[in-house]
Amino acid sequence: MSGTSDTAGTSDTSVPRRRARRTTLLIAGAAVLGALAGTVTGYAVQYHREPTPLPPLAQQKMDGPKPAAMNDATSRRSVNAHRWHKADEELAKKLVDVPAGAQHSFSGAVSADAFAASWYLQPSDAVGGLIREGIKSVATASWAENDRNFVEVHLLQYRDRSGAEGFQAEMVGYMPEKDYAGNTGKDFPGVPADFGHLWIDSKAHEEPGYYPVRQARALIRRGDIVMVVEYTNARGAVDEKALVEIAKRQMERL
């Protein structure tokens, strides 16, 4: 009897455990099926309902310049006002004044990609380099004194001095090549050698059917700002004194 009791006791003890496990699995399976059935039913009901409109925005009208047709008063800035930052205005205010009566004049902030398009042979690659070097703002002034002499002044402000130093070093490196000035240039008068330089093309650039063109360039760095002044003559002769005078006026503004 004792053996029968032990066997019965073992059987009574083990069966409920197996039954409890099976019951738990059945309940879990039922819960999963119930959830799936509820989800499918919910999608089916939602499918037949009319779409609920979204609530209106808190600010339905955003402040900003309204589009307008271009006219004589349209500037590069007004074409897309959202591309500019207040820092661009501050740098543009430091540009040298365009002489009264100058022809084809412009003075103001320009975007980095616009500067790259006018300055580099491969603008798409160059604008990426400018951004990596930390370009912050660019401002340009340009004018024609007459039908022979043309002036361009560029101010480039970087987020720190290293970016300005990089631009300066790059220009000093390529200017002696024959496709540019063709010579090492000289120090800009009144500026330490490490901060200013001046080049005049060794010879004029000539193409059939065009006047000979010669350029002079001044490069000066002050802190995180680099200034470049280009003086171009469309007859093959450059007035170095005129370039130096413009560059000194720009230095005073900085």
pLDDT for res 1: 45
| pLDDT single digits (tens) 154-188 | 999 999 999 999 999 999 999 999 999 999 999 99
Q: Look up the pTM and report it.
A: 0.66
| pLDDT single digits (tens) 123-133 | 888 989 999 99
| pLDDT single digits (tens) 2-19 | 444 444 444 443 333 334
Average pLDDT value for residue range 50-58: 64
The encoded tokens of residue 81 equal 């006002």
Would you say residue 195 has pLDDT above 80?
A: yes
pLDDT for res 71: 60
